[in-house]
């Protein structure tokens, strides 16, 4: 069995994957919002121990752990380059090994979601696609010729940052113009929030009163479905930087599809319609007519599936290939091949690999 942990800014999701059932069979969530530094890893470990006990599983049964982590990850040195949990150049794998007493395989969370969608979700049959995950931030992933593209320095999926896609907010990364502060789930909610302050008699302001000032994207769904003027105005304003970015990427890469994941995907078709309408405005007809904009299929589980895939792959004999050809790290994501690999690997094999590492 393999454990996948998807560590985000507000929660960490734990999934227990059974190779024979070929699915996540147990699931648990830990709140991470007020955690800092090494305390984050300690809390993950404490939760892991407690959770395994609750579901009658033991640590010896867990062949590998994959950790999908928020922030830019240098997967070659396993160092996090983000200060979300007060982490700057944080040696996460080293710290995780201290607690878990086994190798914890690290991957950026948005890249993990992309791998998950390629393995088990909306990207299964696609050769080339882009993925955008809208959460606390905006992450992404690029799949070219069925391979996850990692770039020359392993940072190829930081779609949330860079450029001049908006001119009203400074991003937490320090740049101004990033899509993240407006088009992330948090950014969309803040756009609704600001609108209610300026328009206290609007339908959104009334809805906000009902939710006691804790308006989420999901709460606005009934208004969006009704095509409410104020709600649609806010949604379009929040999604415009994202649509501009997608338009540039479509022209650059000519993908089969753009997959949208994260909390706002709960808005469903109206979200797709809004993004598609704006993307069409900023792309040439021959490009947008060929590229579909679709919703992610795995929802909350995409990052866990990706973490599980990475852990399984890095744990077995693909490791040789990874070390010699880093660009092939996530190549040819194929569910049957992976299942067979995992099933064929016996305990002795894993032990011998770990002792080598
Ligand atoms: Zn930024």
Write out pLDDT tens, residues 128-168: 999 999 988 898 999 999 989 988 888 888 899 999 999 99
Q: How far apart are CA 262 and CA 141, in angstroms?
A: 13
Distance 160 CA to ligand 1 centre (A): 6
pLDDT at 345: 43
Q: Contact, 42 vs 98, CB < 8 A?
A: no
Q: How far apart are CA 88 and CA 79, in angstroms?
A: 8
Q: What is the mean pLDDT of residues 23-33?
A: 92
Q: Mean of the per-residue pLDDT values for the chain?
A: 86
Of 62-76, 87-101, 244-258, 328-342, which range is least confident? Answer: 328-342
Distance 174 CA to ligand 1 centre (A): 6
pTM (predicted TM-score): 0.83
The CATH number of 2-113+301-356 is 3.30.420.40
Comparing 253 with 335, the larger pLDDT belongs to 253
Q: How far apart are CA 148 and CA 338, in angstroms?
A: 16
Q: Contact, 260 vs 275, CB < 8 A?
A: yes
The rounded percent of the chain whose pLDDT value lies above 90 is 58
Whether pLDDT at 67 is above 50? yes
Whether pLDDT at 346 is above 50? no
Determine whether 59 is exposed, middle or buried from the number of CB atoms within 10 Å of its CB (0-12, 13-18, 19+): middle
Comparing 227 with 81, the larger pLDDT belongs to 227
pLDDT at 28: 96
Q: What is the mean pLDDT of residues 281-308?
A: 92
Q: What is the mean pLDDT of residues 298-315?
A: 90
Q: How far apart are CA 204 and CA 217, in angstroms?
A: 11
Distance 217 CA to ligand 1 centre (A): 21
Whether pLDDT at 177 is above 90? yes
pLDDT at 153: 80
pLDDT at 87: 81
Q: Contact, 92 vs 69, CB < 8 A?
A: yes
Of 101-110, 205-214, 310-319, 334-343, which range is least confident? Answer: 334-343
Whether pLDDT at 355 is above 50? no
CB atoms within 10 A of CB 297: 17
Q: 158 phi and psi, to 5 degrees?
A: -90, 60
Distance 234 CA to ligand 1 centre (A): 21
Q: Do domains 2-113+301-356 and 127-296 have the same CATH topology?
A: yes
Whether pLDDT at 191 is above 60? yes
Give the pLDDT confidence of 237-249 residue by residue, as tens digits. 999 999 999 999 9
Cα atoms found within 13 Å of the Cα of residue 75, Cβ hemisphere only: 30
pLDDT at 341: 58
Distance 173 CA to ligand 1 centre (A): 4
Q: What is the mean pLDDT of residues 96-124?
A: 92
**What is the DSSP code string of 176-239?**
BS-SHHHHSHHHHHHHHHHHHHH-TTSHHHHHHHHTTT---TGGGHHHHHTT-HHHHHHHHHHH
Distance 137 CA to ligand 1 centre (A): 9
Distance 95 CA to ligand 1 centre (A): 27
Q: How far apart are CA 166 and CA 175, in angstroms?
A: 11
pLDDT at 307: 95
Q: Which option is the CATH number for 127-296: 1.10.3720.10, 3.40.190.10, 3.30.420.40, 1.10.8.10?
A: 3.30.420.40
Domain ranges within the chain, ordered by starting residue: 2-113+301-356, 127-296
Of 69-83, 205-219, 233-247, 283-297, which range is least confident? Answer: 69-83
Distance 72 CA to ligand 1 centre (A): 12
DSSP state of 9: S
Q: In terms of Cα–Cα distance, which of 234, 244, 299, 302 is closest to 275? A: 244
CA triplet 219, 223, 228: central angle to 5 degrees? Answer: 150
Distance 355 CA to ligand 1 centre (A): 40
Comparing 43 with 266, the larger pLDDT belongs to 43
Whether pLDDT at 126 is above 80? yes
Structure tokens at 45: 């470990």
Q: How far apart are CA 216 and CA 210, in angstroms?
A: 12
pLDDT at 317: 44
């Amino acid at each position: 069995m393999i454990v996948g942990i998807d560590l985000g800014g507000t929660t960490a999701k734990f999934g227990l994957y059974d190779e024979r059932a070929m699915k996540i069979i147990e699931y648990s969530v830990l709140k991470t919002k007020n955690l800092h530094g090494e305390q984050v890893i300690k809390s993950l470990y404490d939760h892991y121990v407690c959770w395994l006990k609750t579901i009658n599983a033991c640590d010896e049964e867990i062949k590998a752990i994959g950790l999908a982590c928020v922030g830019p990850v240098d997967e070659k040195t396993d160092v996090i380059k983000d200060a979300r949990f007060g982490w700057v150049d944080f040696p996460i794998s080293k710290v995780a090994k201290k607690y878990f007493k086994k190798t914890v395989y690290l991957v950026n969370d948005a890249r993990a979601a992309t791998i998950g969608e390629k393995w088990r979700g909306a990207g299964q049959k696609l050769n080339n696609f882009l993925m955008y995950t809208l959460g606390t931030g905006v992450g992404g992933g690029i799949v070219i010729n069925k391979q996850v593209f990692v770039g020359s320095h392993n940072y190829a999926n930081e779609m949330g940052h860079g450029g001049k896609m908006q001119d009203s907010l400074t991003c937490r990364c320090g740049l101004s113009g990033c899509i993240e502060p407006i088009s992330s789930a948090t950014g969309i909610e803040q756009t609704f929030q600001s609108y209610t302050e300026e328009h206290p008699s609007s339908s959104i302001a009334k809805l906000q009163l009902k939710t006691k000032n804790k308006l989420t994207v999901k709460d606005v769904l009934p208004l969006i479905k009704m095509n409410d003027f104020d709600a649609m105005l806010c949604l379009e304003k929040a999604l415009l930087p994202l649509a501009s970015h997608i338009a540039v990427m479509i022209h650059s890469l000519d993908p089969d599809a753009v997959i949208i994941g994260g909390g706002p995907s709960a808005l469903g078709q109206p979200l797709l319609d809004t993004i598609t309408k704006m993307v069409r405005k900023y792309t040439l007809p021959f490009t947008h007519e060929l590229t579909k904009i679709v919703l992610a299929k795995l929802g909350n589980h995409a990052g866990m599936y990706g973490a599980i895939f990475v852990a399984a792959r890095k744990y077995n004999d693909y490791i040789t290939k990874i070390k010699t050809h880093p660009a092939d790290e996530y190549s040819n994501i194929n569910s049957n091949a992976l299942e067979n690999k995992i099933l064929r690997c016996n305990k002795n094999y894993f032990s011998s690999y770990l002792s080598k590492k």
